[in-house]
Structure 1
Amino acid sequence: MELKDATLALAALGQSTRLSVFRLLVEAGRDGRMAGEIAERLSLPGATLSFHLKELVAAGLIQGEQRGRQICYRAHFEAMNALIDFLTHNCCAGDPDAECLPSVPAAGKGCRP
C-alpha cells in the first residue's frame, strides 16, 4: 500500500459514522450487509448513509454489489489487511517476535489481522 492510499483510508476511518459502518461490515464478513440493514442498525437516514458509503468505497475499504434494486456492501478485507500491514511494516525494527505486532483475537479464527 502506498502512503497516499493509507492516508485516504485513514481519513475515511477517522470519522465516527464511517468507522461504525466499516466495523459493522467487518463483523458481517464476506456476506456483507444490505444498505437498508446498515441504515437500520446504525439509525442513519438513507442520504446520510449513502454519503458515508461513497466515502468508504472511494477509499477502497468497502465494495458494493448490486442485488436487484438494492446494494449489498462488504468490507474489502484485502485493503484492510494492507492498511494494517502498512501501519506495522517496520514495527519494532522488523523483529517478528516483537510484542508491538497486532495479534489475532480468539474470536477471530480464520480472520487475519
Structure 2
Amino acid sequence: MNDEDALVCLAALSHPTRLAAFRLLVRAEPDGLSTGDLVAATQLGQSTFSTHLAVLVAAELVKPEKRGRQMIQRADIARLRAMMLFLAKDCCGGSPALCDGLIAELACC
C-alpha cells in the first residue's frame, strides 16, 4: 500500500456511517451481510446508504458478491491488513520491541 491508497481508505472510513458499516462487515466475516441488513443496521434510507457503500467499494474496503438474488457485502480483510501494516510499518522508530504492546493487544481480541 502506498500513501495514496492509505489516504483513500482513511477518507472512506472517516464518516461515522461508513466506519460503523465497515466494522459490522469485519465482524461478519467470512459470511458478510446482505445490503438490506446493512441498511437496517444503519437506520438510513436505501439510497443514502448506497452512497456510503459506494465510497467503501471504491476504496476497495468492501467487496460485493451476488448470491442468488441477494447482494452480499464483505469486508476486504486483505485490504484492511495492508492498511494496518502501512500505518504500523514505521512504528516506534524501527524498534519492533516497542510495538509489542500493540501486537499483544491485537492478538487478544
Q: Say whether the fold is shared (TM-score over 0.5).
A: yes
Deviation track 1:33-69 (CA, whole Å, cap 9, x = no partner) reads: 0000111122121111111111001001010001233
1:88 and 1:101 in contact (8 A); partners too: no
Distance 1:4 1:39 in 2: 29
Secondary structure in structure 1 of the residue aligned to 2:98? coil
Counterpart in the other structure of 2:8 = 8
| Structure with greater proportional helix content | 2
TM-score, length of structure 2 as denominator length: 0.90
Counterpart in the other structure of 1:111 = none
1:91 and 1:101 in contact (8 A); partners too: no
Counterpart in the other structure of 1:62 = 62
Tell me the number of residue pairs that the alignment of Structure 1 and Structure 2 aligns: 107
Distance 1:69 1:51 in 2: 21
Secondary structure in structure 1 of the residue aligned to 2:96? coil
Residues 86/34 of structure 1: CA separation in 2 closer, same or farther (3 Å cut): same
1:61 and 1:75 in contact (8 A); partners too: yes
Distance 1:104 1:88 in 2: 12
Counterpart in the other structure of 2:24 = 24
Counterpart in the other structure of 2:80 = 80
- Provide the identity percentage: 41
Secondary structure in structure 2 of the residue aligned to 1:97? helix
Letter in 2 for 1:104: L
Following TM superposition, the consecutive aligned residue runs of length 4 or more in structure 1 with deviations greater than 6 angstroms are: none
Stretches of structure 1 that go unaligned for 5 or more consecutive residues are 109-113
Q: Deviation of residue 95 (structure 1)?
A: 1.4
Letter in 2 for 1:36: G
Shifted more, 40-49 versus 30-39: the winner is 40-49
1:25 and 1:33 in contact (8 A); partners too: yes
Secondary structure in structure 2 of the residue aligned to 1:30? coil
Stretches of structure 2 that go unaligned for 5 or more consecutive residues are none
Distance 2:38 2:71 in 1: 11
